[in-house]
Amino acid sequence: MRGENAVLGTAGLAAFLALGEAVPRLGLVKEEYFPPTGRIADALVTEVTDGAFWSALGDTLTGWALGLAIAAGAGVVTGVVLSVVPYLREATASTVEFLRPIPSVALIPLAVLLYGTGLRSVLLLVVYAAFWQVLIQTLYGVQDVDPVAEETARSYGLGTWARVRHVLWPSALPYVMTGVRLAAAVALVLAVTAELVIGAPGLGARIAVAQTSQAVPEMYALIVVTGLLGLLIDVGARSVERRALAWHQSVRGEVTV
């Protein structure tokens, strides 16, 4: 089945690339706005041989990785604390629901005012966007803990930390890993967006420069790079998730009778 899916995926990608080559060649769109796939590929080769490209890629990955790490750590800790401290979840529910829908891009003026166009501005936007993905999933995971297991742990005299470690965390971990995987994608989107809008160093800023200088094939080549980067991040996150949940029924493929 996996081999068949790989073949179908490859065939679909080949058809998409062929369509991208044919549409401008046939005059359906202007080549200066949408270059053929071949020209984009040539521009991509030129980009990867440029040292400035790798520097921009490193800047983007730095903002993404640091922001994701901060958001994941803060989201897990906050979610666990809100869930295990009596009445704290109810006391903060309205605040969470008020802050969570605010788009991170709406904070761009604030980020520029506070930190200018450097890495810290990117981190502010990335952390704010990714934090909620992890926090909400952690809250859901803690709420899904089996009450019988919780009461059994209490009856055996397990303290709060022991219950968190042996009961709460294993039950919440699948939710946490889902939140981290979603946050990884969101963090990349916000990192590139911040670079594109405020001019912070990275692939986004390089895309903006290519657009303003009318280097259209180079612009599309950089967009392709961001897409490939997102694909690699998703594959990597799923791989980590499978390893972390190797014991879980959903990964082992067991069926409860």
User: How many other CB atoms sit within 10 Å of the CB of residue 50?
Assistant: 12
Whole-number mean pLDDT of the chain? 84
Inter-CA distances, 55 with 61, 187, 235, Å: 10, 19, 23
**How far lies 199's CA from each of 187, 195, 205, in Å?**
17, 5, 5
| Cα 61 to Cα 67: distance, rounded to the nearest angstrom | 10
User: Which single residue is written with the structure tokens 């996150």?
Assistant: 237
What's the pLDDT score for residue 11?
80
Q: pLDDT class for 257, splitting at 50, 70, 90? A: very low
pLDDT score, position 169: 78
pLDDT tens digits, residue range 184-197?
999 999 999 999 99
User: Would you say residue 89 has pLDDT above 60?
Assistant: yes
Q: For residue 3, is pLDDT > 70? A: no
Looking at residue 249, its pLDDT comes to 65
Backbone angles phi, psi at 161, to 5 degrees: -65, -40
**Mean pLDDT to the nearest integer, 151-166:** 72
Higher pLDDT, 21 or 128: 128
Q: How far apart are CA 7 and CA 76, in angstroms?
A: 38
What would the mean pLDDT of 100-118 be, rounded to a whole number? 88
Instruction: Answer whether residue 14 shows pLDDT above 60.
Output: yes
